[in-house]
Every structure is written in C-alpha cells, then in structure tokens.
Amino acid sequence: MIETGDRRPLASRNTRWAQAIARRLVSMNLTPNRISQASMMAAALAGLAFWLAGETEDGVRVTLYIAAALFCQLRLLCNLFDGMVAVEGGKGEADGPFWNEFPDRVADIFIFVGAGFAIGIPALGFAAATFAVLTAYVRELGRANGAPSDFSGPMAKQHRMATMTAAAVLSAFEGFWLGDGEILWIALLLVSLGAALTAVLRARRQIAWLRRGAKG
C-alpha cells in the first residue's frame, strides 16, 4: 500500500492506550520536541546494547539483545507520542518540523551502526544507516517539490524497526544453535536492500508525480 500525506498513517494513533498516554504526557507539560529528542537517546542505547552484545557472552549477551529490542521499540513510541502531543495535544512548536525529522535520522544511524559493530561488519551497519537516511531524504525532497509525503515501504521506518527488534530477540537465543551474529547480518542486509529499494520506488513515484503536474 502506498502511504502518502503530510503525516505518517499509524493505526496505533487511534488506540485507547496511545490516546491515554498522550493525554498524560500533555498533562505533564512534556513538549513534543523533548519527546523527539528522547527518541535519539533510546536509539543510542539500542545501538550501544547491540554493540556491547557483540562483545559479551551468555546471560549478559541475552540481556543486552533484549535491551536493544526494547530500546528500538521505545524509539518508535517516542516517534508516536511526539506527533500526538504536538497535534492532538495542541503543543506544536515553531521549531517542531526540525525536531520531527532530525532525531529520526540520528536514531537510524545509532541503531544500524551499533548492530554493524556487534557482528564485526561495521560497513554493513553504515550501509543500512545510509539507505535508511536516503529513504527520508527522497520523501523530504518530494515535499520540497510540492508532492505529498510518501511514507510507503517496503522498508519504511516502522518496517526497519520491526526487522531490528525481531533480529535482536532472535539473536538473544542464538546460543541454542551456536549462532554468532548471523541473524543480525541477515537483518542488516535486508534493511540495506529494502531501504535502497524503498528510496528508488519513492523517487520513481515522485518523478511520475512531477511529470503529471507538468503535463497538467
């Protein structure tokens, strides 16, 4: 499904638990910018947990991988609630557009680079981070050109975090089959290829949109 518009379509935004938490955050006078900034901290901790997991063994390694998975999800929750507090809570700020985008790019870099170091292949982590940032660049370029924001996949932000969360959880148990980073390697490869494809598909749709406008 092609997802376009000025705001990422999220089914979780309409759930009772999300709305209740958002109202609580609004009542605590937390600004959306602070929540966006917290997403960078969550991502940094996820990347660090990935990295350290690659340097440890046994129970500590399991704990670190589970922590990485939880911090990846915390990053997504921050991304959910910053928008809800800003829009539904009416706390949008003048510099909100910057903090809505910049932390996401930093977060992707922290997580994928950390995972790359965890398996001893930092280049693969940097590749995943590069293509992840590229998907957002193409989307924002489209907005600058007047096109609707394109949030489609196959490897949009939520897909990337789902991939890394699943990989972290599975990696926590790789000792049972004497694995050593293969799952993370596959996950980073999937993110790299999927994000590259996502950027290409978004670019093609953007070009087609611009050409239709020129003909019209």
pLDDT tens-digit readout, 20-79: 999 999 999 889 999 999 999 999 999 999 999 999 988 899 999 999 999 999 999 999
Q: Is the peptide bond between 154 and the residue preceding it cis, with omega within 30 degrees of 0?
A: yes
Q: What is the pLDDT of residues 185-216, one digit of tens each?
A: 999 999 999 999 999 999 999 999 999 876 65
Mean pLDDT over each residue of the chain, to the nearest integer: 92
Residue 2 has pLDDT above 60, yes or no: no
| pLDDT on residue 3 | 47
Indicate whether 181 pLDDT > 60: yes
Of the candidates 150, 168, 202, the residue with the CA atom closest to the CA atom of residue 51: 168
pLDDT recorded at residue 1: 38
The pLDDT of residue 141 is above 70 = yes
Give the pLDDT of residue 216: 57
What's the pTM value of the predicted model, to 2 decimals? 0.92
Residue 184 CA to residue 123 CA, distance in Å, equals 13
pLDDT band at 6 (very low <50, low <70, confident <90, very high): low
SS3 labels along the chain: CCCECCCCCCHHHHCHHHHHHHHHHHHCCCCHHHHHHHHHHHHHHHHHHHHHHCCCCHHHHHHHHHHHHHHHHHHHHHHHHHHHHHCCCCCCCCCHHHHHHHHHHHHHHHHHHHHHHHCCCHHHHHHHHHHHHHHHHHHHHHHHCCCCCECCCCCCHHHHHHHHHHHHHHHCCHHHHCCCCHHHHHHHHHHHHHHHHHHHHHHHHHHHHHHHHHHC
The share of the chain scoring above pLDDT 70, in percent, equals: 96
**pLDDT confidence band for 88 (50 / 70 / 90):** confident
How far apart (Å, rounded) are the C-alpha atoms in residues 157 and 153?
Answer: 8
pLDDT band at 14, cuts 50/70/90?
confident
The reported pLDDT for the residue numbered 8 is 78
- Percent of the chain beyond pLDDT 90? 76
Work out the pLDDT band at 175, boundaries 50, 70, 90.
confident
